[in-house]
A and B are shown apart, each in its own frame.
Chain A
Amino acid sequence: MDKAGGREEVAEQKSLVAWLLQALNRPAAAAAAIAAFALWAHFGSGVGTFRSQVSPAPGWQKFRASYGLDDFGADGYFVRAAQDGYNLFYYTNEYAWRFTRKTAADADHACAACHTVEDLAYGFVNSDRFDPGLGKRVSFEERVMRCYAGRMDGFVPTLYDPAVRDIRVLARAVAHHLQLSEGARRRRS
C-alpha cells in the first residue's frame, strides 16, 4: 500500500514538472536558461574564461606605469593582452596552469624566476635567429613553448594560444618602452 502511494506521489511530481514546462513554453524557458547562464558566467562566476577583462594581478598598476603601457591606450585589446602576458610572466603557475606542473610550493614557478621582463624584450628583438645548440632557427614563440615544456616542467601550448601570444605582446610592449630596435644588444653594466 505504501509502495503504491510512493509511486503515485512520484507520478504527480513528474506531471507537475511536465505541466510547468508546458506552461512556461519550452523554447522560451531554454532561451531564458541560456541567457541566465551567460549573464552568470560573465558577471557572477568569477571564472576568467568567461570575462573579456583580465584579472588584475598584484603589481600590474605599478608595472603599467613603469613601462608606459598607457602609450597603447588606457584599455584595449593590446593592453589587455599585455596584461595577460604580465600575469603569465609573473604568476605562471596560476595563469598558465594548463601548461606547467609547477605549483606555488615550487621555488621557480613563474617565468620571472629566471628572467626579467627586460630580458624578455631583448629576447624578442633577437629571436628568429639560428641556435647552434638546436641546429635550427628558433622563433620567440618556440622559445616560450620550450620554456613551458622544459623549465616549467609542463606541456607545449599551440602557437596560437594566448599563453604564447600574450607573452610576445608583453615583450613587444616592453621593447617599445625601451625603444629597442631589431637585434639590439644589451649593454653590460
Chain B
Amino acid sequence: MKPLPARLLKLVLVVAALGALYLLAVRGHAERDALRQAAVELTPDCRAKLSDYALRAGERYRSPYLLKTTGRTRDLHGYDDEDVRAIQRGCNIFDDLQGYLAKGGPRERWYANRFVRGTQTTCTHCHRGVGDRQDAAGNRLVGTNSMGASWVMADMYDRFTGLLLSHEWRQMQCYINSSNGFKPNIADDVIRDVTAYSRFLAAALDLKIGNRYPEQGIDEISASATLRRGDDYVRGAFVYRQKCATCHGPQALGTVGQDRVLYPALAGPNAFSLDSRMNFAKVHSVMPGFICRNMPPGKESSLDNQECRDIAFYLSTLPRPAGDMQGPLAAAWQQLMMIVMPPLTRYAESLPGNGDPHDTAEAR
C-alpha cells in the first residue's frame, strides 16, 4: 500500500488537472461569448450583399429584393442585434472561410480553417456569389448552388448518405468532402452562423419552404445531354489548357496572390477529395453542370455540354486527397502522386512536341 502523502499528492494532481481543464473550458466559452458580442467587420462582398438586402436589427424586416422584383413588400419577423451579427459572421465564413480578409485572422471565422485540410477552400468557390448569384437585372441564376434555396429544400432524402439530410448535416459533408477536412459539431457557431446566413437569404429572396427553385444545387449534365461522342479526358485536358489553365494554373493547383485565393485548386492537396460529389469519378453529372453554368467567369454557358464533361473527366484524373471511404492505401497513393506528378508533368510538358498539339511549326 502506498504511503498517505503519495496518495494525497496523486489526488491533488488529478484534481488540479481537472480544474485546469475546467478553467480552460470556461476561458474558451468566455472568449466565444466576447466574439459573439463583438461588432463584425464584413468582407467587401458580404458588405455589398447584406447592404443590398437591408439587413439591420429591428422588429420588422422588409426585403428590398422583393420590392424591386415584384413591386410589393411584406413585413417579416425582424432580427435582434445578436441575430444580425450571426448572419454577418455566417456571410464572412462563407466568403472567406480561411480568414485571409479578417484583421483578426481565422479567429474571426471561429477558426473554421481547423475543419479543412487545405489552405484555399471557402464556400463561395462552389456556392457562387456568396451563396446567392444573380445577373445584373437581379435574376437568380440556374445551378448556382444558392444557399437560400438550399435551406428551403433541406431535410429531404439524400441518396448518397441514406439520410434525411438537414442543412447542418449538409454543411458537415461539405467540410468533410468538398473541403477535404473534418466534421464540426452540429451546434458549433461555424455551422449555426452559416445556417443563419442561409435563412436570411431565404427571407430576403422570399423563398417558400419546401419549394424547388432552379438556383438550388447544380444543373447537372448527364451523358444523355451530349452528342454521345464519349467522355474523353484527353480532349478535356486540351480544353482545360485553352479555357481554364490561365486562372486555375496549368496543373489545376489554384492561384494565390494578394494574400488571398484568387482561383481555387481543382487538384492537389488544396482541392476537394475523391469522395466529393464534385469528383467526376464519383458523380458524373455534378462537376460538368457546375462548369457549364458557372465557368469561365464572365463567359458562362460558353462551353458545350460535352466540353464540360470532358474537362470534369480530365480533372478527375489528376491526383487529389483520398476521401474517408478510400482507405489508407489509396490515401497513401494519392499523397505520393500529389508529390510526384506535378514535377513530372512539368518536365513532360517541357519536352518538345508534348505541349499544345496545335502549336506546331506549320501552325505558327
Taking Cβ atoms with an 8 Å cutoff, the residues of A that contact B are 71-72, 76-78, 81, 124-126, 128-130, 132, 136-137, 139, 159-160, 165, 168-169, 172-173, 175-176, 179-185
Looking at the complex, which one of B151, B187, B203 makes contact with A183 (CB distance below 8 Å)? B203
Q: Is B233 an interface residue (CB 8 A)?
A: no
Q: A77-B157, A169-B155 are in contact. Are A176 and B211 (CB under 8 A)?
A: yes
What does DSSP make chain B's interface, helix, strand, loop or mixed?
mixed
Least Cβ distance of A47 to chain B in Å?
22
Contact B164 A81 (CB under 8 A): yes
Contacts of A160 in B (CB 8 A): 186
Looking at the complex, which one of B81, B207, B211 makes contact with A182 (CB distance below 8 Å)? B207
CA–CA, A96 to B62, complex, Å? Answer: 39
Closest to A174 in B: B209
Contacts of B134 in A (CB 8 A): none
Looking at the complex, which one of B77, B166, B202 makes contact with A185 (CB distance below 8 Å)? B77
Contacts of B199 in A (CB 8 A): 128, 182
What does DSSP make chain A's interface, helix, strand, loop or mixed?
mixed
Contact B210 A176 (CB under 8 A): yes
Least Cβ distance of A148 to chain B in Å?
17
Q: How many B residues, CB 8 Å from partner?
A: 35
Looking at the complex, which one of A130, A139, A168, A185 makes contact with B82 (CB distance below 8 Å)? A130
Ranked nearest first, the 4 interchain pairs of A and B with the lowest CB-CB distance are: A176-B210, A183-B76, A130-B80, A182-B203
**Interface centre among B192, B200, B209, by most A CB within 10 Å?**
B209
Least Cβ distance of B80 to chain A in Å?
4
Contact B77 A76 (CB under 8 A): no
Given contacts A176-B211, A181-B76, A181-B209, 12 further A-B contacts (CB under 8 A): A71-B210, A78-B157, A129-B83, A130-B82, A137-B83, A165-B164, A165-B166, A172-B155, A179-B211, A182-B203, A183-B77, A185-B77
